[in-house]
Amino acid sequence: MTAITASMVKELRDRTGLAMMECKKALTEANGDVEVAIDNLRKSGQAKAAKKAGNIAADGAITIVQNGNKAVLVEVNCQTDFVAKDENFAKFSNQVAEIILATGETDAAKLAEVKFDETQTIEEARIALVQKIGENIQIRRAIIIEGENLAVYKHGLKIGVVVSYTGDADTGKGLAMHIAAFNPVAVNAESVPAELVAKEKEIAEAKAIESGKPANIVEKMVTGSVEKYLNEVTLERQMYVIDNDKKVADILKSTGTTVAQFVRFEVGEGIEKKAELSFAEEVAAAQAGAK
Q: Which DSSP string do the residues of 197-246 spell out, in sequence order?
A: HHHHHHHHHHHHHHTT--HHHHHHHHHHHHHHHHHHHBGGGSBPSS-TTS
Order of strands, edge to edge, in the sheet holding 70-78?
A: 59-67, 70-78, 138-146
**43 vs 254, which has greater pLDDT?**
254
pLDDT band, very low/low/confident/very high, at 41 (cuts 50, 70, 90)? confident
Q: Is the pLDDT confidence value at 279 over 90? A: no
The amino acid occupying position 48 is: K
Above pLDDT 70, what percent of the chain?
A: 86
Q: pLDDT-derived band of residue 65, with 50, 70 and 90 as boundaries? A: very high
Does 205 score more than 70 pLDDT? yes
Question: Diameter of the chain by CA atoms?
Answer: 91
Please report the pLDDT score of residue 22 as a whole number: 74
* pLDDT at residue 218, as a whole number: 81
More confident residue, 14 or 112: 112
Region 117-138: mean pLDDT is 90
Query: When comparing pLDDT for 90 and 10, which is higher?
Result: 90
Query: What's the CATH code, domain 6-52?
Result: 1.10.8.10
Decide if 24 contacts 16 (C-beta within 8 A).
no
Alpha-carbon separation of residue 9 from 6, 12, 166, 201 (angstroms): 5, 5, 56, 65
- Amino acid of residue 3: A
The DSSP bridge partners found for residue 77 are 60, 138
59-146 domain in CATH 3.30.479.20? yes
Question: Where along the chain do its domains lie?
Answer: 6-52, 59-146, 189-261
Q: What is the pLDDT of residue 136?
A: 87
Q: What is the mean pLDDT of the chain?
A: 86
The values of phi and psi at residue 69, to 5°, are: -95, 25
Mean predicted confidence (pLDDT) in 62-91? 95
Residues contacting residue 273 through CB under 8 Å, at least 6 positions apart: 56, 58
State the Cα–Cα distance between residues 4 and 22, nearest whole angstrom. Answer: 13
Closest CA to 226 of 207, 211, 212, 240: 207
